[in-house]
């Protein structure tokens, strides 16, 4: 019979050509009629698509169609490489219907030739969407004329638009990334994955309230944890600074009121200290009216060595275009001055520097943070204006706000930095608000903990033999880490220098996060550059600002009234971890096995520790750092599995990417692929990529083949 059908089709080229033009859902229906004897779907598609004339193929020629299907499957080759040129496209039928070859599941391609579905097919494995037989998918394709390929292209266009809006955005893939492609030749033929894991089922900090309450001791000092309040009084509901002995050395923050006077001045009682001069200059701003020029004069009076280096054009730009909602600068600046000069009364013990290769924490009040930031605004911190090579603080980010005031006469930068200043001034307006009408729930009267975590290389995972399988994944193109991820461990796509360009012109994920919650900026005062086996974890920061846009589209929208609950130590149920991705000047370098291992270790360091909340993350290092989001998603999922945490992943509007990652997660989870096995596959891909770097396989296709999944040739 097969020989007869082959001869019949081969002797009729017109029939064969039509067979190749048929959309796959039509062929599936004919195939179904051949295998099962049920011709109802065959009649449905014949009447709907009108792709075959009565003289070329009748309803009774289903056996001929099967023969043509066999030949078409063997003769039409498809390029599945995401970089290997264009693939063959299914033709549109004469009625204008879109081809629906995309409706057959890649996960069930090998099942098309089976006459009976397996038990897994009957159950519809894959997260809730039934993918049992190709006929069922073909029927769905007929009901919805919009093909999956069309939806995939729509997702790709969305991705392209978001990338063009800001190619530097850390959670927006850059258009220039050659590796950020989809395995479109095969993904277009797979149905969308089943429902994602419900975000409401993910654990947040509220699920671990008792554990969080024990992190700070009620009595006595905690090793490697400096607490700037008296904990014995705190239990009674009173917050007062911890009394200690200040030091001026290389291991602690050099506070401005401790600046030593020259030896010659110490002999003369009439000589004023630098701090005295600072307070005298600033307090002038609390008397009567003042201008931005007066603020500049005050700041430069104790920073005279920088008079030829600093400009305040961005600050002037802000003042000249003062928005009506910001028209309270004359009230906010004096309150900021009082906050700054109150430093000696609020900070009464040394603040340690969080130095490299040391696990150490600092807990302070929100008021103490605001005092330190007020001093940063007025540029009072000594020895912190020079971070050039060889300088004392070359390994630390800047903290004084001088760089935020200076846009180098670039009107675009000046406008964006003015938006930053709107966020900063609203923060100070909130923390200095002593009015009776302030919402008690959003009053900044709690604590915040900054913890540098270092895991020695000897204690990092041996990725080759990890037996864990992937944890639960909630993935969505909608939502954000900051909002939908509230209460989870929120990933800051950080720079090695914490805060990145927040005090300059930078405006991507990390900088915007620090403007939404300016309390994070104080970490720049004491956090040394992060090493490869380190992260910074912040527990309890408050959100103050609503913003919109990225990079050149950034704007301050308005106040945010933070109602997030607090733990016993009055820290918000908000935890942020700063982990810095590698910056790939050459994107191909990210597939080198040593770089894959580095990123795995970095993510693991950030995800380790307690409490075991879910992780809220996204396209870490996939903007300016040119990371492949599909690779970075796997890396984060692997690290989360070893750290025993679920994941909430947000793709920032990229629906196609969300579908690709979810589909891969489903396949890995269903096949119980261990982290160790997946790691070794990534190493294999590294070798493949180095050999075939001009036209390598798509990463996810490579992994599917490792699992044993066969791609469709339809």
- Has 482 been annotated as catalytic? no
Cβ contacts of 73-81, under 8 Å, gap ≥ 24: 73/713, 73/714, 76/20, 76/713, 77/713, 78/185, 78/713, 79/185, 80/183, 80/185, 80/186, 80/697, 80/698, 80/701, 80/711, 81/185, 81/695, 81/696, 81/697, 81/698, 81/701
CB 131 within 8 A of CB 140: no
Q: What angle do CA 665, 669, 673 make, to 5 degrees?
A: 105
- Enumerate residues 6+ apart whose C-beta is below 8 A from 189: 24, 101, 102, 103, 104, 105, 106, 109, 148, 712, 714
Is the backbone peptide bond immediately before 611 cis, with ω within 30 degrees of 0? yes
SS3 sequence of 405-471: HCCCCCHHHHHHHHHHHHHHHHHHHHHCCCCCCCCHHHCCCCEEEEEEEECCHHHCCCHHHCCCECC
CA-to-CA dists, residue 394 to 58, 384, 388, 390, 422, angstroms: 80, 9, 5, 6, 29
Q: Bridge partners of 420?
A: none
Q: Cβ–Cβ contacts within 10 Å for residue 573, how many? A: 21
Query: 612-629 burial, b for 16+ CB within 10 Å, e for fewer?
Result: bbbbbbbbbbbbbbbbbb
Is residue 492 among the annotated active site residues?
Answer: yes
Which tokens sit at 118?
């397996």
Give the distance between the most distant pair of CA atoms in the chain. Answer: 114
- β partners of residue 362: 226, 450
Of these residues, 510, 528, 628, 711, which one is catalytic?
510
Q: How far apart are CA 708 and CA 83, in angstroms?
A: 22
**Residue found by looking up tokens 């180098």 in the block:** 408
Distance CA 335, CA 347 (A): 18
Evaluated on CA atoms 670, 676, 677, 680, the torsion sign reads positive
The one catalytic residue in 121, 148, 180, 492 is 492
Identify whether the C-beta of residue 290 lies closer than 8 Å to the C-beta of residue 333. yes
Crossing angle between the packed helical segments 2-10 and 62-75, to the nearest 10 degrees: 80
Which helix (H) or strand (E) segment holds residue 492: the answer is strand 489-494
Strand order in the sheet with 534-539: 225-227, 360-365, 447-454, 534-539, 575-580, 489-494, 615-617, 647-650, 473-476
Structure tokens at 95: 């009625």
- Coil, helix or strand for 138? helix
Rounded to an integer, what distance in angstroms lies between the CA atom of residue 546 and that of residue 504? 20
Closest among 645, 505, 507 to 575, alpha carbons compared: 645
Q: How far apart are CA 364 and CA 242, in angstroms?
A: 10
- At residue 186, what are phi and psi to the nearest 5 degrees? -110, -30
Mark whether 484 is an active-site residue.
no
Q: Which residue has the tokens 């903290």?
A: 399
Distance CA 240, CA 368 (A): 10
Residues facing residue 361 across a β-bridge: 225, 451
Torsion 421-424-428-433 (CA) sign: positive
Of the candidates 406, 511, 646, 698, the residue annotated as catalytic is: 511
For strands 360-365 and 489-494, give the pairing.
unpaired
What span, in angstroms and rounded, lies between the C-alpha atoms of 629 and 619? 5
Which residues are part of the catalytic machinery? Answer: 492, 510-511
């Amino acid at each position: 019979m097969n020989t007869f059908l082959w001869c019949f089709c081969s002797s009729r080229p017109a029939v064969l050509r039509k067979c190749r033009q048929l959309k796959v859902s039509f062929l599936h229906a004919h195939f179904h009629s051949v295998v099962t004897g049920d011709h109802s779907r065959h009649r449905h598609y014949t009447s709907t698509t009108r792709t075959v004339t009565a003289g070329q193929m009748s309803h009774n020629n289903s056996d001929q169609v099967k023969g043509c299907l066999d030949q078409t499957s063997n003769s039409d080759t498809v390029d599945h490489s995401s970089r290997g040129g264009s693939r063959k496209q299914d033709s549109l039928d004469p009625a204008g219907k879109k081809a629906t070859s995309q409706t057959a599941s890649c996960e069930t391609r090998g099942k098309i030739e089976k006459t009976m579905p397996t038990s897994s097919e009957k159950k519809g494995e894959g997260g809730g969407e039934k993918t049992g037989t190709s006929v069922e998918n073909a029927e769905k394709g007929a009901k919805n004329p919009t093909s999956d390929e069309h939806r995939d292209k729509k997702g790709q266009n969305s991705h392209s638009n978001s990338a063009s809006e800001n190619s530097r955005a850390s959670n927006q893939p850059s258009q220039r990334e050659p590796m950020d492609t989809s395995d479109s030749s095969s993904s277009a033929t797979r149905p969308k994955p089943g429902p994602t894991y419900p975000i409401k089922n993910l654990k947040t900090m509220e699920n671990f309230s008792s554990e969080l309450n024990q992190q700070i001791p009620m009595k006595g000092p905690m090793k490697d944890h400096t607490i700037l309040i008296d904990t014995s009084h705190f239990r009674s509901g009173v917050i007062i600074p911890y009394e200690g002995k200040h030091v001026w050395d290389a291991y602690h923050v050099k506070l401005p009121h401790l600046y030593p006077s020259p030896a010659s001045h110490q002999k003369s009682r009439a000589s004023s200290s630098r701090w005295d001069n600072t307070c005298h200059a600033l307090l002038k701003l609390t008397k009567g009216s003042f201008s931005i020029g007066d603020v500049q004069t005050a700041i430069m009076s104790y920073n005279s060595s920088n008079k030829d280096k600093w400009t305040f054009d961005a600050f002037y730009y802000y003042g000249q275009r003062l928005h009506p909602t910001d028209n309270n600068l004359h009230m906010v600046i004096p309150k900021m001055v009082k906050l700054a000069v109150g430093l000696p009364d609020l900070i009464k013990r040394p603040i340690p520097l969080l130095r490299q290769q040391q696990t150490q924490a600092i807990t302070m009040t929100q008021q103490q943070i605001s005092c330190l930031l007020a001093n940063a605004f007025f540029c009072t911190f000594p020895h912190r204006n020079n971070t050039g090579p060889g300088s004392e603080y070359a390994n630390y980010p800047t903290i004084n706000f001088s760089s935020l005031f200076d846009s180098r006469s670039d009107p675009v930068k000046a406008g964006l930095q003015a938006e930053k200043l709107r966020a900063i001034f609203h923060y100070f307006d909130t923390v200095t608000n002593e009015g009776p009408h302030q919402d008690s729930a959003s009053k900044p009267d709690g604590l915040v903990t900054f913890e540098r975590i270092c895991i020695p290389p000897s204690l990092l995972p041996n990725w080759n033999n990890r037996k864990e399988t992937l944890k639960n994944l909630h993935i969505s193109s909608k939502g954000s880490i900051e909002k939908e991820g509230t209460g989870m461990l929120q990933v800051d796509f950080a720079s090695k220098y914490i805060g990145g360009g927040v005090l300059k012109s930078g405006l991507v994920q990390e900088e915007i996060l620090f403007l939404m919650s300016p309390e994070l900026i104080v970490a720049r005062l004491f956090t040394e550059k992060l090493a490869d086996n380190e992260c910074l974890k912040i527990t309890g920061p408050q959100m103050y600002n609503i913003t919109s846009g990225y990079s050149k589209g950034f704007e301050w929208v308005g106040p945010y009234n933070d109602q997030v609950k607090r733990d016993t130590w009055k820290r918000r149920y908000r935890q942020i971890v700063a982990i810095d991705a590698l910056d790939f000047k050459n994107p191909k370098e990210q597939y080198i096995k040593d770089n894959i291992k580095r990123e795995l270790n970095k993510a693991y360091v950030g995800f380790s520790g307690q409490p075991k909340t879910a992780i809220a993350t996204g396209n870490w290092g996939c903007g300016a750092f040119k990371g492949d989001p599909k690779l970075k998603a796997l890396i984060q999922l692997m690290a989360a599995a070893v750290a025993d945490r679920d994941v909430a992943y947000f793709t920032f509007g990229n629906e196609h990417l969300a579908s690709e990652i979810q589909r891969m997660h489903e396949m890995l989870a269903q096949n119980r692929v261990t982290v160790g096995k997946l790691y070794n596959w990534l190493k294999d891909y590294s070798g493949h990529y180095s050999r075939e770097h001009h036209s390598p396989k798509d990463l996810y296709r490579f992994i599917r083949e490792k699992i044993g999944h066969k791609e469709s040739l339809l």
